Amino acid sequence: MLEIIKSLLIAFFAVAVLLPVVRFALRRLSPAPDAAALSADELKYMQKQELKLTVIYFIFACILSVFSAGMLALVSSIVHASTAHLHVLTPNFRAFFAPGLLLGLTLAVVPLRLVQSTLLHHDYDLYKTYTRHMEGQHSNRIYNILLLLMLVISGIIVWYALRWHVTVDENRIEVTNLLLEQSAYDMREIQSIRYLGAEGEYLISFSNQTTLNTTYLKPVTLEMIALLSQQSNTRVIR
């Protein structure tokens, strides 16, 4: 949980830092000389309204990030479900939170745009003038292009993330990574199985110096760990 909160805070800090930079770049690319000048009171008021929209954006981003990570974990389980293996391990919620966060930050723009006019009411026209003044004349068009670009990047990352899975048979473990590269290990190649202190979290070391950390995989059952221990003649280290 702390890891997820930390990731959210870092992402929101990054957005807060990058937004002024993006705005400056947009204003330089497409200045709006004919934009109506705003008084100091109007600028201050619009900054407060903008802060309100930013908070709402972060709320949407939190909800969509958590939902996306959960859905990706579920889809991965469905895609790799198989009766041909004793156990199939797929990435869990924690493993998918990073791509889910990227997807959530991107998709949160959509509901924010849909509710902007409702939230601002009669201030919506003044807000559009304010954004032209702060971001330039064609900022909306550029934001649309950036949104499509981020959706494409998110889709590619999710596509690769969904490929990772591990299959366990009676005498064999096979790991498929993000690039669909497969590594097969005989149970007798297991050198150690170390319990990491939390349910389902084990560090499995093989004779070729590679390791498999089950912290980000599910479901890791005691039955499966017992099978690995028995077939490799290795005791679980606590």
pLDDT in tens, 94-132: 899 989 999 998 999 899 989 988 888 888 888 888 887
pLDDT in tens, 71-87: 999 999 999 998 889 99
pLDDT band at 11 (very low <50, low <70, confident <90, very high): confident
Which residues are 89's β-sheet partners? 166
| Amino acid 214: pLDDT | 93
Of 131, 161, 191, the one marking the end of a domain is 161
Burial of 130 (0-12, 13-18, 19+ CB in 10 A): buried
More confident of the two residues 26 and 93:
93
| Amino acid 122: pLDDT | 85
**147 and 51 assigned to the same domain:** yes
pLDDT in tens, 193-232: 999 988 889 999 998 889 999 999 998 999 999 999 999 8
**128 and 201 assigned to the same domain:** no
- What does residue 41 show for φ and ψ, rounded to 5 degrees? -65, -40
Per DSSP, the three-state class of 31 is coil
**114 and 198 assigned to the same domain:** no
Query: What is d(CA 99, CA 72) in angstroms, rounded to the nearest whole number?
Result: 9
| Amino acid 208: pLDDT | 87
Of 161, 188, 206, the one marking the end of a domain is 161
- Domain total in the chain: 2
**100 and 193 assigned to the same domain:** no
pLDDT band at 134 (very low <50, low <70, confident <90, very high): confident
| Amino acid 83: pLDDT | 87
| Amino acid 89: pLDDT | 94
CB-CB neighbours of 118 under 10 Å = 8
**155 and 183 assigned to the same domain:** no
Domain that holds residue 26: 2-84+93-161
CB-CB neighbours of 200 under 10 Å = 19
**25 and 142 assigned to the same domain:** yes
**63 and 145 assigned to the same domain:** yes
**10 and 75 assigned to the same domain:** yes
Q: Using alpha carbons, select from 67, 30, 61 the residue that is nearest to residue 145.
A: 30
**34 and 114 assigned to the same domain:** yes
Of 102, 126, 161, the one marking the end of a domain is 161
**57 and 139 assigned to the same domain:** yes
pLDDT in tens, 15-57: 777 777 776 776 666 665 565 667 788 888 888 888 888 889 8
DSSP strand pairing (172-176 vs 182-186): antiparallel
**54 and 122 assigned to the same domain:** yes
| Amino acid 33: pLDDT | 58
Residue 11, C-beta contacts closer than 8 angstroms, at least 6 positions apart: 61, 101, 105
| Amino acid 27: pLDDT | 67
**176 and 139 assigned to the same domain:** no
Per DSSP, the three-state class of 24 is helix
| Amino acid 121: pLDDT | 85
pLDDT in tens, 161-174: 999 999 999 889 99
CATH (domain of 176): 2.30.29
